[in-house]
Amino acid sequence: MAMMIDPDACSLCGDCKPVCPTRSVLKKSGIYSINPETCTECDGDPACLAECASGAITPV
């Protein structure tokens, strides 16, 4: 399983990127996304989800 960032809901603050222990949060062309191949959902306690004030991050 992995997390996903909704680009329409994302405020582009970037707060999720530094808290990701697997460096799965990527920024490309000004849009944030999460690499599903490396995202581990922080073993059940996603750090990015806790950090996202806009609620743009959800489990896939």
Q: What is the pLDDT of residues 31-47, one digit of tens each?
A: 999 999 999 999 999 99
Domain ranges of the chain: 3-59
Structure tokens at 26: 């990527």
Q: What is the pLDDT of residues 15-32, one digit of tens each?
A: 999 999 999 999 999 999
pLDDT at position 1, please? 81
What does the mean pLDDT of the chain come to?
Answer: 97
Multiple choice CATH, 3-59, 3.30.230.10, 3.50.50.60, 3.30.70.20, 3.10.290.10: 3.30.70.20
Q: What percent of the chain has pLDDT over 70?
A: 100
Cα(42)–Cα(30) distance, rounded to whole angstroms? 24
pLDDT at position 8, please? 97
Residue with tokens 């989800």: 49
